[in-house]
Amino acid sequence: MSSDSQLKLDLKTVDPVWHQIRLEAEALAADEPFMASLAHSVVLHHATLECALSYRLAQKLSSPEMSPLLLREMADAAYAGNPHMGAAGRADIVAVHDRDPACHRMLQPLLYFKGFLAIQSYRLGHHLWTEGRKDLALFLQMRCSEVFGVDIHPGARVGQGIMIDHAHSIVIGETSVVGDDVSMLHSVTLGGTGKAGTRRSARGC
């Protein structure tokens, strides 16, 4: 068996979400030549979903103050050191695919859906926040708000299997707790009640 065939077999067995995304990216590249470069750069050039997310977030969140190369290096280290980030990202993709009627392929959230990308940006910022790198985490929060219109404080606690539909004017404050398998529409604000030591929670779909 060739190494390429073995890789596809391993991906399908061990990581069905990533395997499906790669199949859809291959089909996109074949069916729409103008999108082939994007399919290759975001998906097909990468061995894992974590690598693809790292690349995609670095490209989207970069600015004159922070280059894509620096962001990619930082994101790669975060995904390598925190396996939960990749697992949560897979759960988020499945949630969007299952619950959003506008999502017909698992590839779509990674390429097009700012709600999905905003949640992954939060996950990266939250990892940095818990590592004590709070200024860098706040920088990512600012860029996420500017790029995706979603403002999630890196100190908030957000579960997995999250679907944010349309993702416009979403604000999740530092004291918020969002459970697993939560769906949100646009124009949602979660934040403190104004009472010290309290948190505002969201659970369910």
Q: What is the pLDDT of residue 168?
A: 84
Q: What is the pLDDT of residue 187?
A: 80
162 assigned to some structural domain: no
34 assigned to some structural domain: yes
pTM: 0.88
198 assigned to some structural domain: no
- Range of 100's domain? 3-150
Count, residues in the chain: 205
Total count of domains within the chain = 1
61 assigned to some structural domain: yes
69 assigned to some structural domain: yes
Distance CA(95)–CA(106), nearest Å, equals 10
What is the sign, positive or negative, of the torsion defined by CA atoms of 72, 124, 22, 99? Answer: negative
The Cβ of residue 147 has, within 10 Å, a number of other Cβ atoms equal to: 17
11 assigned to some structural domain: yes
Q: What is the pLDDT of residue 110?
A: 98
Q: What is the pLDDT of residue 2?
A: 62
Return contacts of 24-27, CB within 8 angstroms, 24+ apart. Answer: 24/105, 24/106, 24/107, 25/107
Residue 77: CATH number of its domain: 1.10.3130.10
Residue 173, helix vs strand vs coil: coil
Q: Per-residue confidence of the chain (205 residues) as pLDDT tens digits?
A: 565 555 555 656 689 999 999 999 999 999 999 999 999 999 999 999 999 999 999 999 999 999 999 999 999 999 999 999 999 999 999 999 999 999 999 999 999 999 999 999 999 999 999 999 999 999 999 999 999 999 999 999 999 999 999 888 899 999 999 999 999 987 889 986 555 555 545 555 4
175 assigned to some structural domain: no
- Is the separation of the CB atoms in 108 and 142 below 8 Å? no
116 assigned to some structural domain: yes
